[in-house]
Chains A and B, each alone.
Chain A
Amino acid sequence: MIIKTKSLLNKYLILGGLFILVLVVHQNEVLAFDKNPVVKAFQKQLESKAQNQSPGFKGFSAEEGEKLYHLKRAFSKDGETRSCTSCHTNDPTKPGETKVGKAIKPLAPKVNNERFTDVEKIEKWFRRNCKWVLERECTVVEKGHFIEFIYSI
């Protein structure tokens, strides 16, 4: 009798454990942020261009993208320190602000699912913002790194 309840208890414990495991795995799946089809196709395009341009290309890295995001650069005309963080703040999951005081919704797709859903818009802002910070357009490799970074958050 005692043995029977014990094995029954064990059975429930095992089942319960499995249930919790499934829950945790499922949760993780939801948390790890998936790229939408638009940005996936865009990055594929960047990748094939990168391979054509530089044979040594080893794929996009979130680490490199993070470096670009935090890079500080002195503007040639007046030495003003410029960075992606000047408008998007140190934390891309937080709202930012333009130089004219207009709020910018967070850049990280994890908290703003409107981001990276329109190639024309993505390219437009890469062009504008890279020119403002770096005084040149970003390369395809830099754009790929940056997207890798923003999706790693």
Chain B
Amino acid sequence: MKNKSRFLVVLMLMTMSLFLIATTAYADKDEDDEKEYNLLGKLEHSGEKGKKIFQIRSIPPVTDTTYLKECGACHFAYQPGLLPEKSWEKIFSGLESHFGEDASLSAEKAKSLREYAIQNSAEKANSKRANKILRSIKGEPPLRASDTPYLIHEHNEFPASVLKRKSIMSIANCGACHTTADRGIYSERYIHIPK
């Protein structure tokens, strides 16, 4: 009788540890992004300190509401952490002729958005993905995040014809495939390429 219950306890402990091992193996890095995002939400209230504790994987989401509105009118509002400071400077000095469109703003708005982008650029993001983007750039930084060597490399797996789909239209339409792009999460797990 005593032996049997001891056996049962051992069995239970074994299955439990097996279960634990299995779940930790499953909790891959993508899930960390999600956890990290939730944690960051809390850390935001503890100010800059939170950001410095560890390097995050995701790109910090946009927090400036004017940026979201003005730079999100024609396309997804790209996180400043997707490009280095120099790229943002170039973008903001040429808004009148912005990829074939006029994206000009009042001088006042342009100045504050430029500052926001530069203060949160890839160099300041403290993010692994932003650092990968930064490190991949050799020479003059491009205007487009999608033209940085790291992202060109990440995006070379699907044929160009995919981008012509009505549901996608352009590689610049990040949110079409990265369903969590607005939260700065670009993990493979949340990619869904629409038909």
Q: Report which A residues bind B (CB closer than 8 A).
A: 97-102, 120, 124, 127-128, 131-132
* Chain B hits for A98, CB < 8 A: 73-75
Minimum CB–CB distance from B113 to chain A (whole Å) comes to 14
Instruction: Contact check, B102 vs A132: say whether CB atoms are below 8 A apart.
Output: yes
Q: Which residue of the partner chain A has the closest CB to B96? A: A131
Q: A128-B101, A132-B101 are in contact. Are A99 and B106 (CB under 8 A)?
A: no
Q: Which residue of the partner chain B has the closest CB to A128? A: B102
Instruction: Contact check, A101 vs B101: say whether CB atoms are below 8 A apart.
Output: no
Query: 0/1 per residue, B177-194, Cβ < 8 Å to A?
Result: 000000000000000000
Asked whether B169 is an interface residue with its Cβ less than 8 Å from the other chain, the reply is: yes
Which of B76, B102, B104, B169 has the most CB atoms of chain A within a 10 A radius of its CB?
B102
Instruction: Contact check, B169 vs A100: say whether CB atoms are below 8 A apart.
Output: yes
* Chain B hits for A120, CB < 8 A: 106
Asked whether B91 is an interface residue with its Cβ less than 8 Å from the other chain, the reply is: no
CA distance A110 to B166 in the complex (A): 27
Instruction: Contact check, B75 vs A100: say whether CB atoms are below 8 A apart.
Output: yes
Taking chain B's interface residues, is the majority helix, strand, or loop, or is none over half, making it mixed?
loop
Minimum CB–CB distance from B40 to chain A (whole Å) comes to 26
* Chain A hits for B93, CB < 8 A: none
Q: A98-B75, A102-B75 are in contact. Are A131 and B170 (CB under 8 A)?
A: no
Query: 0/1 per residue, B141-183, Cβ < 8 Å to A?
Result: 0000000000000000000000000011110110010000000
Instruction: Contact check, A101 vs B168: say whether CB atoms are below 8 A apart.
Output: yes
* Chain B hits for A99, CB < 8 A: 74, 101, 169-170
Count CB-based A-B contacts (< 8 Å).
40
CA distance A56 to B74 in the complex (A): 38
User: How many of chain B's residues have a CB under 8 angstroms from any CB in A?
Assistant: 19
Asked whether B103 is an interface residue with its Cβ less than 8 Å from the other chain, the reply is: yes
Chain A to chain B contacts (Cβ below 8 Å), 18 pairs: A98-B73, A98-B75, A99-B74, A99-B101, A99-B169, A100-B74, A100-B75, A100-B169, A100-B172, A101-B75, A101-B167, A101-B170, A101-B176, A102-B75, A102-B76, A128-B102, A131-B102, A132-B102
Q: Known pairs A101-B75, A101-B168. 16 more at Cβ < 8 A?
A: A97-B169, A99-B101, A100-B75, A100-B169, A100-B170, A100-B172, A100-B173, A101-B167, A101-B169, A101-B173, A101-B176, A102-B73, A127-B104, A128-B104, A132-B101, A132-B102
* Chain B hits for A132, CB < 8 A: 100-102
Which of A98, A101, A132 has the most CB atoms of chain B within a 10 A radius of its CB?
A101
CA distance A127 to B96 in the complex (A): 10
CA distance A101 to B75 in the complex (A): 7
Minimum CB–CB distance from B167 to chain A (whole Å) comes to 8
* Chain A hits for B76, CB < 8 A: 100, 102
Query: 0/1 per residue, B84-115, Cβ < 8 Å to A?
Result: 00000000000000001111111000000000
Instruction: Contact check, B102 vs A127: say whether CB atoms are below 8 A apart.
Output: yes
- 10 smallest CB-CB distances across A and B, nearest first, come from A101-B169, A100-B75, A101-B173, A128-B102, A98-B74, A131-B102, A100-B170, A100-B172, A102-B75, A100-B173
